[in-house]
Amino acid sequence: MKKYTAKEIETIIESDIQNNIYKPHEKLPTERELMETYNVSRTTIRTIIDQLIIKRLAYRVPDKGVFVEKEIIRKANRITGFTDMIKDTGSVPTTEVPSVKHIIPNETIREAMKLNEDETVLEVVRKRSVDGDPFLYEVVFINTALFPDIEMYDFSKESLYDIIVNKYHKKIYYLQEVVTATPVDGEISNFLYQKNSGFSLKVEGVSYTYKNEVIEYGISYYHTERFSFESILLNQE
């Protein structure tokens, strides 16, 4: 019987996960089964499993075994709406909108959106899920001077990105974002984690037209186990 290297076994299992031979939340073969299949020691198998967990391809449940992790959604360096980003992965996005209202922005929002003290914005709160699992809690502040009557649209069914582009014919020219790990509680934590407190990836972003007009200012709280950012840096020299 061929004796595989640890790297070969890891590559085989990783490929099986990515090709859906092992489906999300499906239990992987036991350590003994993998030892017999690949003719290696228990120590080698445990090292391989640890690597799969580090790569967030699998997770361990005490006294039950090792299971395939649900796919991590990665946000790459391109501007797109949440709905399209999720659909591109083959998953199904859903949105609940508990609140839509006009507000007088505080100083932080005014500065981010370059507003005068007498200007108002539309605040939209959205709870967003992927394949039925909580994924993102989001508060967006929309510049109503650029988008009059935008509150008439159903944000639970229509993509804000599509509304901006197709209904108001505005293009998001660039987007500035700051990502931090932050504790969350209350409504945000209860939605994301079904408990009173936790940690989230907080993303604050401001989007602009090519004329440098602010389209929106958003604060998003992502489920840390279901989302990651991908950054590609180019050397311009």
**Residue ranges of domains in the chain:** 6-68, 73-229
Residues contacting residue 165 through CB under 8 Å, at least 6 positions apart? 171, 172
Sign of the torsion formed by the C-alpha atoms of 75, 77, 82 and 85:
negative
Whether 48 has a pLDDT exceeding 70, the answer reads yes
pLDDT (mean) for 26-36: 93
Whether 96 has a pLDDT exceeding 90, the answer reads yes
Q: What is the pLDDT of residue 73?
A: 58
CATH superfamily, with its number, for domain 73-229: Chorismate lyase-like (3.40.1410.10)
pTM of the predicted structure, to 2 decimals: 0.70
Identical fold, 6-68 and 73-229: no
DSSP assignment of 216-228, as one string?
EEEEEEEETTTEE
122 confidence band (pLDDT: 50, 70, 90): very high
State the CATH architecture for 6-68.
Orthogonal Bundle (1.10)
90 confidence band (pLDDT: 50, 70, 90): confident
Report the relative pairing of strands 197-208 and 174-185 from DSSP bridges.
Answer: antiparallel
Q: Kindly report the backbone phi and psi dihedral angles of residue 112, in degrees, each rounded to the nearest multiple of 5, phi listed first.
A: -65, -35
Percent over 90 (pLDDT), the chain = 60
pLDDT tens for 158-210 read 999 899 989 999 988 888 999 999 999 999 999 999 999 999 999 999 999 98
Whether 77 has a pLDDT exceeding 60, the answer reads no
Looking at every residue in the chain, the average pLDDT score rounds to: 88
d(CA 140, CA 25) in angstroms, rounded, equals 33
